[in-house]
Chains A and B, each alone.
Chain A
Amino acid sequence: MNASPASPQVVIIGAGPAGVRAAQTLVDAGLRPIVIDENRRAGGQIYRQPPPGFVRSKKELYGFEAAKAEALHSSFEQLRAKIDYRPDTLVWNCAPGQLDLLHAQRHAEQTYTHLILCTGALDRVMPFPGWTLPGVYTLGAAQVALKAQGCVLDGRVVVAGSGPLLYLLAYQYAKAGADVVAVLDTARFGDKLRALPALLRQPVTFAKGLYFIGWLRAKGIPLIDGVEQIAADGKQSIQSLRWTRGGKTTEIACDALATGFGLRSETQLAELAGCRFVFNELNQQWLPQRDDAGRSSVPGVYLAGDGSGIAGADAAELSGRAAALALLQDLGLPSSKAESRQLAQTLRSNLQFRQGLETAFPTAVHWARDCADDLVICRCEEITAGELRRSVQQEGTVEINRLKALTRVGMGRCQGRVCGAAAAEILAHATGVSVADAGRLRVQAPVKPIPVSAALAAEEQI
């Protein structure tokens, strides 16, 4: 990499809370970063903006977070003229010093000397019987429908899973007029009690959670915790959801299910950029190594926001700024070291709250042991839990990339972004090792599928 301090080419990937604050910090220092974002409008997932012309107010869209959303959106509007903004652009590959892009079905290339990866997160998906039925959505997808398109899942909606997004989405849906018929929490009340001390480190956030729960109760929406073994049934699409609680099975009729079990960092670009990864117990995921300020193991590559460990939108804004300050320091430009230290401290303390959330909403660790052999784990390639277990038993597979090679798990359109976590848990359980020891699923470009026609257009240009 030819990082010349005289003419740095800084590229920020992602225009969510982390990316916007990173851009703002660099602009304030007199730089003109390129900001590449897969979405059409800035805001990321949490402050996702509807297409122009949609009329729901920020209060309706973001509730308690309306002021923060407004602040971020208006910050970005002010930056627009001072940055090179590339919305609706997928970064599908990252090599040292160069990015491969896809915009409007065309391939393009972009060089960089410095990169701030603000790639965000996606839902942690846990397979359960019926999870591939039409009508079953992730919490994130259900929320995107609401924020981006102003529509909700049709008919009777069950919201199920774990994590703080569960109650938030149920609240947002019910408030928007959706027919939420039940909220099923796989965590138990006891888990939340144990998490209380850590959660009270952020009393405002904690209070919001309580508010959602109280509001949903007041509307008479059943909230059921300690739910186990959820299963969707239906012919063409979901028609009902079953679960057990205290040994008793209950079933509810529904037309749609929004489900999620927390979030997972989107780390593909960091891996393609060559960043060193370490297994993170809190996130139960391999994450790119970063220092307090967000420096990765690769000089010139910085990490901010949920893409390198789930910490939430507020922390993302701070870590975006922290990464940009670190970048400025590394360029030898003026930057407040005291502020960097302060940001690092705040972010560390935020982690304690995050630890509390994991306690309150633990991942259902037994599901990998309990799930039936005929359960589809990899929906792209239609690979079942039984096939994975057989590979362990008959072929002695102990490593996740070998499991992929031998069974095709994670080899489909999603490239393991959706099924990788579940496959690793099944492998770990079947071999009796930790998820960390099962290894890390290697990433290959493209990060998301790219059309052959884009490649052809690129060839014609040459």
Chain B
Amino acid sequence: MSKTADKVIDTDVAIIGGGLMGTAAALELRRQQRSVVVLEQGWCGAQASGVNYGGVRRQGRAVCQLPLSQRAHAIWRRLEQTIGSDGEYIASGHLKLARSDADMQELIAYRDMAAAYGLELELLEADALRRRYPWIGDRAYGASLCAEDGHANPRLIAAAFARAAEQAGARLLQQSAVRECSFDGNYFVLINSRGERVRSRFLLNCSGAWGKEIAERFGETVSEQAIYPNMCVTEPLPPLMNLSLGVVGGAFYARQVERGNVVLGGGRGIGNLALDATRPRASSSFKALAALTEMVPALRHALVIRTWSGVEGETPDHQPVIGPSATTPGLLHAFGFSGAGFQLAPAVGEVLAELVTKGESSTPIEAFSIKRFAVPQPSKEESKV
């Protein structure tokens, strides 16, 4: 009894999940002088935060995400001051390709809509597109360029946020799965796999694909399913693609990293919610490679050296769950980013810190409320790449 009691760790804020959302929040909360304990079942940043594509992209996001995404963009631009590492972040530009006139009309409509949120997009007809990017093949009909979007290395970014949070004084408990969690009316009490107890005023559920499971322990209703994005990488190649590439419909997304490898994603792998239980699927890799090489023919001759997947949480409307619990005061959620959370993470961290310290977010997050799952028919919004 006394042994367990000895191990109670008191903190202002406990965070479940040491991915980007959790560690970005931890870092910001430390700046606001709050004590923070992060509980991570594996290694910080080793799940979806660390193995995703690494797109730092605003273009293509749903309207409701643009304010948050713009806020994140500002933080990305000064990333090195924030986390002490550039994480290979480069504002290379993001080019979204059209393969038909219908695709192009979609890009035009998006450009007109996004302008209201301060997102400037440049439309390129086929000729202009190929003049500027001669490596793009004849099948491209046109494209929309977001010059200040870009990409970064998620392996490094996720680890750097965790390290920055730790250096700022957050306590990271890794290899520390949450076995029990409850709210006694005043405090949250968590017990981890090592038998340690963490007691806090606030609890942040930043558990990615496991977010639903944590939310349900507090009686929340939420729709989230696990998805397994399928990824490939080629051998290092001479510089070819100088920006991050996507396509209307999302058949593939690709970027060439500093080292020369082309990282690409598209389709789904398979897996389950156990750690390291995801695997890529050859058919998904092949489809993504076919879609990519249709647009970038030179890559036909490359070698694929690795494929992988990871586990991510997806909601029916593809919008994340961000904000206060519908059942439990002091419980805040940030999960279910549906494959598009990487760019948002720094802003989500700030928003969560605001919710803890001020009780409200200075960026609109109503669209992401968990309450939307309580009504029978959640409104459907377009969002995907």
Contact = CB atoms under 8 A, between A and B. Distances in A.
Contacts of A446: 304-307
Interface string B265-302: 00000000000100110100111011001000001111
Given A402-B46, A411-B306, A453 B301 contact: yes
A444 B50 CA distance: 16
A451 B234 CA distance: 9
Contacts of A405: 46, 50, 155, 159
A415 interface: yes
B293 A444 contact: no
Contact of B289 (A95, A444, A452): A452
A450 B285 CA distance: 12
Contacts of B304: 446, 449-452, 455
Interface string B183-220: 00000000000000000000000000000000000000
Contacts of A107: 282, 286
B128 interface: no
B357 to A, nearest CB: 29
A93 B306 CA distance: 11
Contact of B156 (A100, A406, A411): A406
B380 interface: no
Given A381-B259, A406-B155, A459-B286, A444 B303 contact: no
A455 B290 contact: yes
Nearest to B305: A449
Contacts of B80: none
B26 to A, nearest CB: 16
Given A405-B46, A406-B155, A452-B299, A445 B282 contact: yes
A333 B305 CA distance: 41
A87 interface: no
A450 B308 contact: no
Given A95-B279, A399-B43, A402-B46, A456 B307 contact: no
Interface residues of B, number: 31
Contact of B301 (A444, A445, A452, A458): A452
A28 interface: no
Contacts of A408: 259
B305 A455 contact: no
Which 7 A-B pairs give the minimum distances between C-beta atoms?
A449-B303, A459-B290, A455-B286, A455-B289, A405-B155, A449-B305, A459-B286
26 contacts: A107-B286, A109-B282, A395-B163, A405-B155, A405-B159, A406-B156, A411-B306, A412-B236, A412-B305, A413-B235, A413-B303, A413-B305, A415-B305, A444-B307, A444-B308, A445-B279, A446-B306, A449-B304, A450-B303, A452-B234, A452-B293, A452-B301, A452-B302, A456-B286, A456-B290, A459-B290
Given A446-B304, A452-B302, 10 more contacts: A401-B46, A402-B43, A405-B155, A445-B282, A446-B306, A449-B303, A451-B303, A452-B301, A453-B301, A455-B289
